Structures are given as structure tokens and as C-alpha cells.
Structure 1
Amino acid sequence: MRRSLIGRTWPNAIAAVLFVFFLFPVYWMVATSFKRDKDIVSRDPVFLPLDGTWAHFDRAVHVPHFWTYVTNSLVVTAGAVLGSLVIATLAAFAVARMRFRGRRGFVLVVMAAQMAPWEVMIIAAYLIVRDNDLLNSLVPLTAFYLMMVLPFTIWTLRGFIAAVPKELEESAMVDGCTRTQAFAKVIFPLLAPGLMSTSLFGFITAWNEFPLVNILSKKESAQTLPLWLSSFQTNAGTDWGATMAASTLFALPILILFVFLQRKAVGGLTDGAVKG
């Protein structure tokens, strides 16, 4: 019993330490966004802003073009996520169910694309967009974000489709369904966990992306929220209160989405990784 108690205690202790370690920066960000300026720059850390203020949030949301940044972020993120889901679902079905020449090569290309560092391709991306006269446009941003999340989406959904017994699809076709109808009525409803997990991954990737939009969008009309976060740094210094308030607002959509999708998302990531 003593060994069993020790065996249960040390994993919980490590988990508690890691929880505090990862949660503290988030807590400090939120707490700083409510502190007064004198408390932010004070040598004595203020852990609980009892006399907090909303002034930093007011400055953050009243910067020029704020709602343009919000709209642009939502447009490019939604476009990338929805587009990747449509393309990846069809591609994953082909890889999991069909046998065609070059299938293994396609899978290897998908895996290689998933591991590719997009930062080294920024110069090439800029030249392509510039030569096609698409700088300061949301179209190339959406297309590049879609390509960023597409390999992971294909790989995850492939595992889900491969885990669905072929007999279910064949039974539907025997009952009179076409292959397309069998996919829509039998396989697609079973992909909900995978679709949710990949949607969350795609949303986080597109929502947080900074280097590409910083290179391709120099006009405010085509910029997104990550550039808004950097707007509080000037030659006179950094407005830390507004920066922390903006960071808190920026993280809220991801937090809300994760709270709603956490069970399906975590299950979808693990199931799609080990099946197929």
C-alpha cells in the first residue's frame, strides 16, 4: 500500500508543478492587463491587482483599424479552416479507401509538408505574391494558411476514415446508395471528433500566424490581429498594460473554442494518430 501511495503521489506532484509552471505566464498576462501603470513598472511585484483598471482594455480596442483587424483575422482563419476541411476530407478518403499509383508517394509528401518550416519559405511566398500583384490582399494569406494546416488535417482524417469498417460502406452501397451517398451518410458522421480536432489546430495556426502577414500586408486594410499586438511598441517604449490587455483579448477566442471542443479535440488527436 505504501508503494502504491508513493506511485500515485509523485505523478500527481509533477503534474501540479507543470500545471503551475505553464499557467503562471497566462495568469501574469491577465493580471497585468488590469494593473495600474505604477504597479506594472514597480520593483515589487503585484500579484493581485485589487485596485484594477479597465483603461488598458479601452486603449487596446480603440486603436485605429481595430475592427478591420478583427474582421480580417476571422475571414482568413475561417477560410483556411473550412477550405482545408473540404480538401482534406476528400484527400483522406482517397488515401484511406482507394488504391492508386503514387499513393505511398503522396502520403510521404504530406508527411514532409507537415514537418516543413514555413518560415524558410517566406521569401519565396513574397516573390510569388508580389509577381501576381496580390500584396495587401487577404486571398494569398488565406491560401497560405490553408496550405499550412492541410497536411495535418489530411493525416488526421485519414486515420479516422481507415478506422471505419469497410463493411459499413459496402452495406450502404448494397442497400442502393452510391459511393458518394455512402460516404456522406455513413463515414462523414463518424468523422466529427477528427473534424473538431483539426479545426481547432487550423484555427490556432491561422489565428496566431505573424511572419507571413507581416511581410505580405503593409496596409492596415489587409492586416490581422497579430500585427495589432505589435502596435503598442513605439520609439518611446512599450505600453505593457495595453499589450497585456490586447494579448488577453487575442487569446479569448482560442480559449473559448478549446473549452467547447476539448473532449472531442483531444480524443480526435489521439484516435487519428493511432488508427489506420
Structure 2
Amino acid sequence: MTTTAPTTATASIDRPTVVAPARRTRRRRRRPRVGTNIVAIVFSIVWIFPVYWMVNTAFKPRAEVMNPTPHFVPYQPTVQNFVVAITQSDFLRDLLNSLIVVIGALIISLALALFASAALSRFRFRGRRVIMIVILAVQMLPATALLIPQFLIFNDLGLLDSYFGLILAYVASVLPFSIWTLRGFFVTIPVEVEEAAMMDGASTWRTLRSVLFPLVVPGVISTSVFAFISAWNEYILAYTFMKDQTMYTLPIWLVSFSTPTTGTDYGGQMAASVLFALPVVIFFLVIQRHLVTGMSAGAVKG
């Protein structure tokens, strides 16, 4: 009787000290992070303001665009800048050129990156690490450093002023990034899945086609977004390799609104920028859910 009472009393006294830290932790988690939210809001405003100003300027008449006093909302909204951008330039022709070149480069680069990343992640062969280091080194080089050698090689091969030549140049620029990104997705696939398919009698090609490739579809989607944006916004290669104006792409068309003789049509240029960014935005919105899933699935140490 004398030993039971102190034990019960001690337990009743010690119980609040054990539960209290957990309750304090929950309360801390429930408190709004005011500082983090403010920083996020400020960062979002700084990031979105140039986009807003581009759209705002695109709907302004020329008088408001050239007014030294900034107007954050158009006083007299107009779509004349969009009409000028579409009708008084080669927008449709250059849009077709961009679609042909970018889609061709995207298909070829994804196909090559898919097989290359599968080989670098699932097979063991001599020189595999050297190849990976070389791919990473090529990706780290600036594009302007490779411009002159590429131009000389393509000139000797007769690939200038052609869709195929520009597609190959775009493939060379986006392929290293695509290989490294897709390799991260292949590394996440357990080896047991591949071994189980081979034990059931599947060949190497059947295992790749029916087991591994379907599992890296989120990675293909994520890689396609970044490859598409990189090829769509490319200007230097298109301007250097294409001397025929009928072969120009949209980035070169965008620069045509600023000339030494007539100056810069800021309203038309901003309207053209909106039209130029619209396909990328639509493409991103369509596959946004798959993009987030793919980025989180491939974010592992490989």
C-alpha cells in the first residue's frame, strides 16, 4: 500500500510533461508562417510583373506606349498591335517553320535520350562513366563556344538553310540535358522489376519496350517540356544557320519589330511576344499535372 500511492502520484505528475512538448509542436505547425508567406508573395510579384507589363503594353495604343508616365492599366485598350503583328509580318510562315523544327528536334532528341539513358543506367559496359562525364561536360559548355565549330561542320556538310540541319543543331543542344534527366527516372526503377520480366522469358528489347519505357513516361513528359522550351526560344542557331528569310523561325521574327531605320515598335513587339509565348503556356498547362509528377519521381540521387 505504501509503494503504490507514490507510483500513481508520480505517474499523474509526470504525464503532462510528456504530452506538453507534442502539443507545443502541433501548435507551432499550425501557426501561419508570416515571414515565409511575405517572401513568397514578394518573389511572385517580382517574377510576374514583367509578364504583366508585357501583356499590358500589348493592349496599349502607340501614344500610351510612348508616354513617359507609366500606365499600369490601358486607358484605351486596343487589339491593333496584335493585328499588326499577325498581318504586317510573316508570322504564320515563321510559326510553321518553328513548329517543324522544334517538333522534329523534340522527337529525335527524346528517342535518342530514351535509349541512351536506358543504356547508361541499366547496362554495365566499359567506358560508361567516361561517356556520362563527357555528356555532362558538353552540357556545361556555353552555346556560343560551340557556335563556330558547328557552323563550319554544317557548312561543309551542306546542311545550312535547311530544316534538317537546324533540327540536328537543336538536337545537339538539348540532348545532353535530356539524357541526364531521363537517366534519373531509370535509376528509380527497381532492378527486381526487370529481373522478373526476364525470368518470365522476356528478351532485353521486350523488357525495355513493355516494362521500363512505360514506367518512365512521366520522365519523358518532364523532359519534353524543358526540351520544347529550350528549342522554341533558341535564336542564335536559327539566325546563324538560316540565311534565307523564308526559313526564319519565330525568335527571329520577334526581333524584326526593332530595326535601325524605323526604330522599335514597342506595342507590336509586346503583342508579338504574347503570341510567341502563348504556345509554350498552352503546352505547359495541358501537361502540368504530369510535369509535377514526373519531376518529383525523378528527383533522386542517381
State the TM-score, normalized to the length of structure 1: 0.94
Q: Does 1:33 align with 2:39?
A: no
Amino acid at match of 2:166: L
Per the TM alignment, residue 136 of structure 1 is displaced from its structure 2 partner at its CA by 1.4
Contact 2:174 2:227 in 1 (8 A): yes
In 2, Cα distance between the equivalents of 1:89 and 1:252?
Answer: 28
Q: 1:134 — aligned with what?
A: 159
Contact 1:76 1:138 in 2 (8 A): yes
Per the TM alignment, residue 64 of structure 1 is displaced from its structure 2 partner at its CA by 4.0
Amino acid at match of 2:262: A
More displaced 10-residue stretch of structure 1: 225-234 or 174-183: 174-183
Contact 1:77 1:203 in 2 (8 A): yes
Q: 1:272 — aligned with what?
A: 298
Identify the structure with bigger relative contact order (alpha carbons < 8 Å, sequence gap 6+): 1
Q: 1:160 — aligned with what?
A: 185
Contact 2:102 2:231 in 1 (8 A): yes
In 1, Cα distance between the equivalents of 2:158 and 2:208?
Answer: 40
In 2, Cα distance between the equivalents of 1:115 and 1:185?
Answer: 34
Compute the RMSD of aligned alpha carbons. 1.7
Amino acid at match of 1:252: L
Per-residue displacement from partner, 1:72-118 (whole Å, max 9, x unpaired)?
Answer: 10111111111111111111111111110001101101111121111
Q: 1:216 — aligned with what?
A: 241
In 2, Cα distance between the equivalents of 1:44 and 1:201?
Answer: 38
Q: 1:98 — aligned with what?
A: 123
In 2, Cα distance between the equivalents of 1:210 and 1:226?
Answer: 6
In 2, Cα distance between the equivalents of 1:223 and 1:109?
Answer: 32
In 1, Cα distance between the equivalents of 2:229 and 2:174?
Answer: 10
In 2, Cα distance between the equivalents of 1:267 and 1:5?
Answer: 27
Amino acid at match of 1:97: R
Q: 2:205 — aligned with what?
A: 180
State the TM-score, normalized to the length of structure 2: 0.87
Per-residue displacement from partner, 1:189-220 (whole Å, max 9, x unpaired)?
Answer: 11121111110011001000001111111212
| Secondary structure in 1 matching 2:216 | helix
1:200 aligned residue (204, 225, 233):
225
Amino acid at match of 1:47: F
Matches within 5 A, 1:66-105: 66-105=91-130
Q: Give the length in aligned residue pairs.
A: 276
| Secondary structure in 2 matching 1:257 | helix
- Structure 1 or 2, whichever has the larger Rg, is 2
Q: Does 1:260 align with 2:301?
A: no
Per-residue displacement from partner, 1:177-197 (whole Å, max 9, x unpaired)?
Answer: 222112211111111211111
More displaced 10-residue stretch of structure 1: 173-182 or 51-60: 173-182
Can you give the 5+ residue segments of structure 1 that lack an aligned partner in the other structure?
A: none
With over 3 angstroms needed to count, the CA separation of the structure-2 counterparts of 1:50 and 1:88, relative to structure 1, is same
Moved over 4 A (4+): 1-7
Amino acid at match of 1:211: I
Contact 2:194 2:211 in 1 (8 A): yes
In 1, Cα distance between the equivalents of 2:77 and 2:136?
Answer: 48
Contact 1:65 1:220 in 2 (8 A): no
Per the TM alignment, residue 275 of structure 1 is displaced from its structure 2 partner at its CA by 4.0
